[in-house]
């Protein structure tokens, strides 16, 4: 068990593409960190650099107190679970799980005991003598987990481990993995493009975009205080509504909404509104034309337009609603303002704190 420190870790491929811009962060002992982002954002590259499967172009990576940049993957005291499980097809489940231990000169009786323990924990006992080809997707995933946990590594690495499973199994395995990690207390880094996995499993989320870290924070932090329009639209289903608004003389105006704000901002801004912060209100300032209602059982989603801009409203199941005109108001305390071009958060929150820190540094 150990903490992981990245100090300006950077990846440039031989063809000149910078896959990961210098990234620095620290993962605490026992923490479950999720790297999330769209495909091609560099999250897998970052994970593979930590695993030692990709070279680190610049910067220092430490696991525990040791800088591991030049260490072989086998010497980094890590275990990795791959997207397609990467089981050895010619070995039985038992041999698959035991292989890493065998190569570390573990005594035979200890290996047998550990394999049996892990198999019991993962409900694999009756499959130990089978080959991977005779197992279902979920069982293979468990074998991959077993291979990781018998080693008692300092660090677990997960590379989109659930993306090959069907939705039901994915939900189940998500809970199992999280519970297992809690029980074992092993520091874990988990890569996914699925924001639900990120939100539900992480102690902390690192949102990546185009090889750059957009934001690091707890799931609730990321959800309620997105640092940019990218984070705002990537995290949360449905995503945050982003609409063009105007700041003038301390007043924010969007469609019929006029809101006095203690801010010196002027000119166009992007206004972010979570769908659940919009409420039906017959005297509300916003006039919405509902075009589509998505019935989700526990709640409904209304899709429509306000002043020519698309908007989604999250509605509790009790509320009655029909297609056509509707008046809305919003919970103003939760709204976010972003720069209309760069997409960076402008009010309070992350960006504001950053600006404040910088100003303090200068003073």
Instruction: Summarize as ranges the residues that interact with another protein (CB under 8 A).
Output: 51-53, 72-75, 78-80, 82-90, 99-100, 103, 133, 147
The nearest distance, CB 17 to another protein, in angstroms, is: 15
From residue 115, alpha-carbon distances to 64, 78, 158, 282, 345 in Å are: 26, 18, 20, 64, 50
Q: How far apart are CA 38 and CA 57, in angstroms?
A: 23
Return the number of the residue (85 or 350) whose C-beta is nearest another protein.
85
Query: Which positions ≥6 away from 123 have C-beta within 8 Å?
Result: 142
Phi-psi region of 61 (alpha: psi -120 to 50; beta: other; left: phi over 0): beta
Return the number of the residue (95 or 204) whose C-beta is nearest another protein.
95
Task: Give the E-state strand segments of 167-256 in sequence order.
Answer: 187-192, 204-209, 212-217, 241-248, 251-254
Q: Which residue has the tokens 């609409």?
A: 243
Return the number of the residue (39 or 282) whose C-beta is nearest another protein.
39
Phi and psi for 87 in degrees, rounded to 5? -80, 155
From residue 166, alpha-carbon distances to 138, 171, 199, 200 in Å are: 9, 9, 19, 18
Q: How far apart are CA 244 and CA 226, in angstroms?
A: 17
Where do the H-state alpha helices sit in 27-136? 43-51, 93-102, 108-121
The nearest distance, CB 126 to another protein, in angstroms, is: 21
The nearest distance, CB 363 to another protein, in angstroms, is: 48
Q: Name the pairing type of β-strands 32-36 and 187-192.
A: parallel
The nearest distance, CB 154 to another protein, in angstroms, is: 13
Return the number of the residue (103 or 282) whose C-beta is nearest another protein.
103
The nearest distance, CB 75 to another protein, in angstroms, is: 6
The nearest distance, CB 303 to another protein, in angstroms, is: 40
| Nearest in space to 156 (alpha carbons), one of 81, 215, 99, 214 | 81
Return the number of the residue (156 or 223) whose C-beta is nearest another protein.
156
Residue 304 is encoded by which pair of tokens?
């429509």
Return the number of the residue (12 or 293) whose C-beta is nearest another protein.
12
Residue 74 CB neighbours (<10 A): 11
The nearest distance, CB 280 to another protein, in angstroms, is: 50
Return the number of the residue (86 or 184) whose C-beta is nearest another protein.
86
Return the number of the residue (40 or 100) whose C-beta is nearest another protein.
100
The nearest distance, CB 67 to another protein, in angstroms, is: 18
């Amino acid at each position: 068990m150990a903490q992981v420190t990245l100090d300006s870790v950077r990846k440039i491929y031989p063809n000149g593409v910078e896959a990961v811009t210098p990234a620095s962060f620290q993962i605490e002992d026992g923490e479950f960190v999720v790297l999330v982002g769209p495909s091609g954002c560099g999250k897998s590259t970052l994970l593979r650099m930590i695993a030692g499967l990709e070279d680190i172009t610049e910067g220092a990576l430490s696991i525990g107190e040791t800088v591991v940049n030049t260490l072989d993957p086998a010497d980094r005291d890590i275990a990795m679970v791959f997207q397609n499980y990467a089981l050895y097809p010619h070995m039985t489940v038992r041999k698959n799980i035991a292989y890493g231990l065998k190569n570390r000169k573990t005594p035979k009786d200890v290996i047998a005991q550990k394999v049996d323990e892990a198999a019991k924990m993962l409900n694999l006992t009756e499959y130990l003598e089978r080959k991977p080809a005779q197992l279902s997707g979920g069982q293979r995933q468990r074998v991959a987990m077993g291979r990781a946990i018998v080693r008692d590594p300092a660090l677990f690495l997960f590379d989109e481990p659930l993306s090959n499973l069907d939705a039901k199994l994915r939900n189940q395995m998500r809970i199992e993995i999280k519970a297992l990690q809690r029980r074992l207390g092993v520091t874990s880094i988990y890569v996914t493009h699925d924001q639900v996995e990120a939100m539900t499993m992480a102690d902390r989320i690192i949102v990546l975009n185009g090889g750059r870290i957009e934001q690091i924070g707890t799931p609730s932090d990321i959800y309620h205080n997105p640092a940019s329009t990218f984070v705002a639209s990537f995290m949360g289903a449905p995503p945050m509504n982003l609409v063009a608004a105007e700041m003038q003389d301390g007043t924010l105006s969007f469609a019929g909404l006029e809101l006095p704000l203690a801010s010196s901002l002027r000119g166009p801004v992007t206004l972010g509104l979570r769908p659940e912060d919009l409420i039906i209100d017959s005297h509300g300032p916003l006039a919405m034309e509902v075009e589509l209602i998505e019935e989700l059982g526990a709640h409904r989603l209304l899709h429509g337009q306000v002043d020519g801009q698309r908007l989604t409203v999250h509605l509790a199941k009790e509320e009655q609603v029909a297609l056509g005109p509707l008046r809305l108001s919003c919970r103003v305390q939760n709204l976010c303002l972003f720069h209309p071009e760069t997409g960076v958060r402008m009010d309070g929150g992350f960006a504001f704190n950053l600006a404040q820190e910088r100003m303090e540094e200068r003073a």
